[in-house]
């Protein structure tokens, strides 16, 4: 179980994904983007919009069940990205790097970008925006919803 949680709002995800696009835009024109589903879908859409890229491919890979890690399982390989030459891979985050290792094996020549990164996996990606500690679990807006919190005075703090 994670020691800390880092909650990312829709606004923040949009800002951080745009920052990723800023970082990538000068690198080279990419022929297309490969989104790693599901987590990479929304960051990939934001990056694609900023880079005016209209060719989006997907690779589907399942590594976690909530916070429980398993062996990465490819449920749909990328169909039209060859060996990755000229393509940009986008995922929401790299944690241990296990998912990235498998996708790099499928698309060895692609540029790999994530919005968030943890220390154990960050060397697996070429570009990322924000680093969090290894014992932090990132909570994305699609995994959360606002809820009522009791006033401090009722919590025994006063």
Ligand X SMILES: Nc1nc2[nH]cnc2c(=O)[nH]1
Number of residues engaging ligand X in binding (CB under 6 A)? 7
User: Which single residue is written with the structure tokens 């401090």?
Assistant: 152
Establish whether 16 is a catalytic residue: no
Binding test (CB under 6 A) with ligand PRP, winner from 34, 42, 47, 94: 94
Asked if residue 60 lies in contact with residue 83, where contact means CB atoms within 8 angstroms, the answer is: no
Residue 137 in contact with ligand X, rule: CB under 6 A? yes
Contact track, ligand X, 86-125, x by CB under 6 A: -------x-x------------------------------
Give CA–CA dist 84/51, Å, rounded: 18
- How is residue 119 written in tokens? 């220390």
37 labeled part of a ligand binding site: no
Establish whether 91 is a catalytic residue: yes
25 labeled part of a ligand binding site: no
Q: Pseudo-torsion of CA 129, 135, 140, 146, nearest 10°?
A: -130
């Amino acid at each position: 179980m994670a020691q800390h949680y880092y909650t990312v709002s829709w606004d923040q995800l949009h800002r951080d994904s745009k920052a990723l696009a800023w970082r990538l835009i000068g690198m080279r024109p990419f022929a297309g983007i490969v989104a790693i589903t599901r987590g990479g879908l929304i960051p990939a859409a934001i990056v694609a919009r900023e880079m005016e890229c209209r060719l989006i491919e997907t690779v589907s890979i399942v590594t976690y069940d909530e916070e429980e890690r398993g062996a990465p399982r490819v449920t749909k390989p990328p169909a039209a990205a060859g060996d990755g030459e000229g393509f940009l891979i986008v995922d929401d985050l790299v944690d241990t790097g296990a998912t990235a290792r498998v996708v790099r094996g499928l698309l060895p020549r692609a540029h790999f970008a994530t919005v968030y990164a943890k220390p154990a996996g960050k060397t697996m990606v070429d570009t990322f925006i924000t680093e969090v500690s290894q014992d932090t679990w990132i909570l994305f807006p699609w995994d959360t919803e606002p809820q009522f919190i009791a006033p401090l005075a009722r919590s025994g703090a006063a």
